[in-house]
Amino acid sequence: MKSATANRRMTLLVMRDAQHSVKQIHLSKPLMMAVPAAAVLSLSGLVLALQAHSSQVISQLEQKVNIENTRNLQLQSSVNSREQSIERLQNEIIKLSSQAKDMQQKMEHVDELEQQLQQFIDKHTTSMSTDVSENKASSLSWDASEHVGGEYIAVHENEMLDLAQETKDDFQEMQELLKTMESQVPHTLKKAQETQKQIAGNPTLWPTASKVLTSSFGYRTDPFTGKAAFHAGIDIAGENGGPVFAAGAGQVVTSEESGARGRYIIIEHPGGLQTWYMHLSKIQVNVGDSVDKGEQIGQLGSTGRSTGPHLHFQVVKQNKPVNPLPYIQAANSEYN
Ligand SMILES: [Zn+2]
């Protein structure tokens, strides 16, 4: 029994070096087997634990990398979208700037037209005393490069800022020009309307359909007495009932019947002239009526001191009859 017990024990010799004595450690056999096994087990456990830990760390790191990547992508896309926004804004500025130039050009054109209108008024207005030349908008100038093409030259940010500022200035200039025009155009328009009224008021239209003159202005032998007499107008022969037109726009100041004149009308024109229409068979206007140039005012006839159907047409300037022919003949081609 003793030997069996001794057999189960094992001796472990521990030799450190030559100076130290050898140590003997007696261990039972199962214990001797258990120690390395335990060591192996604990080592493998450690390895497993380390593996588990490292795989956890790796997955955490991977997650972090993924998050970083996502962030980078988001950042990149936000940078991209910002760049796109800036590009869009720059294009907008360029577009605005070109619109400003275009608008300026158009406004300058309108300004020129207004000046032409002013010149037209000056030419046709009898009184030149009123000052119409003040407040003239100064004409603008710029470099108009209209051709498209050429190489691509990148624009610096500062240049874009300059362009934006320039465009702002352009709009401000236009605003000022518009303000000037706003105050000036109604004035010019009013003058133009007055001029137009005056032009329309000039008795320049031939007053009948017929153009057969039977008696001219001036001294003649009177058809009734056979004696020399002054004829204050012209006589135009025509059909009884034929239309008689206003020679110019104006206001009817007389519309009545008298012995020698028969049924007659007097129209006063804006320029101060009067036109008289006599021997009418019918009057179609009343005193106070405004008539347009060419408007039918009555019908040709032979009322009053008349030998047959005709219109006695007379132009009166400052209460004196003047020869009507220069008025209705000179402008005939222009207004008929
Ligand atoms: Zn006459």
What is the per-residue pLDDT for 100? 85
Residues in Cβ contact with 303 at an 8 Å cutoff, skipping those fewer than 6 apart: 257, 262, 263, 279, 280, 281
Q: Measure the CA–CA gap between 333 and 336, rounded to whole angstroms.
A: 6
One-letter amino acid at 110 equals V
Distance in Å, CA 110 to ligand 1 centroid: 50
Distance in Å, CA 312 to ligand 1 centroid: 4
Distance in Å, CA 260 to ligand 1 centroid: 10
- 71's tokens: 């962030």
Distance in Å, CA 231 to ligand 1 centroid: 6
What is the per-residue pLDDT for 7? 58
Give Cα 282 to chain centroid, integer Å. 53
Distance in Å, CA 313 to ligand 1 centroid: 7
* E runs forming strands in the chain: 9-14, 23-28, 212-215, 218-221, 228-231, 234-237, 243-245, 250-258, 262-268, 274-280, 282-283, 290-291, 296-299, 310-317, 320-322
Distance in Å, CA 298 to ligand 1 centroid: 17
What is the per-residue pLDDT for 1? 44
Domains and CATH numbers, the chain: 2-81 (no CATH), 212-335 (2.70.70.10)
**Residue the block writes with tokens 């031939």:** 206
What is the per-residue pLDDT for 13? 80
Q: Measure the CA–CA gap between 285 and 80, rounded to whole angstroms.
A: 80
Distance in Å, CA 233 to ligand 1 centroid: 6
Distance in Å, CA 51 to ligand 1 centroid: 134
In tens digits, the chain (336 residues) has pLDDT values of 444 444 567 787 877 777 888 888 787 888 878 877 888 888 888 888 889 998 998 899 999 999 999 999 998 888 888 888 888 888 888 888 888 888 888 888 888 888 888 888 887 775 433 333 444 444 445 555 566 677 777 777 788 888 888 888 888 888 888 888 888 888 888 888 888 888 888 999 999 999 999 999 999 888 888 888 999 999 999 999 999 999 999 999 999 999 999 999 999 999 899 999 999 999 999 999 999 999 999 999 999 999 999 999 999 999 999 999 999 986 544 443
What is the per-residue pLDDT for 10? 77
Distance in Å, CA 105 to ligand 1 centroid: 58
Distance in Å, CA 220 to ligand 1 centroid: 11
- 262's tokens: 């028969």
Residues in Cβ contact with 249 at an 8 Å cutoff, skipping those fewer than 6 apart: 197, 200, 201, 269, 270, 290, 291, 292, 293
What is the per-residue pLDDT for 145? 58
Sign (positive/negative) of CA torsion 43, 49, 53, 58? positive
Distance in Å, CA 317 to ligand 1 centroid: 17
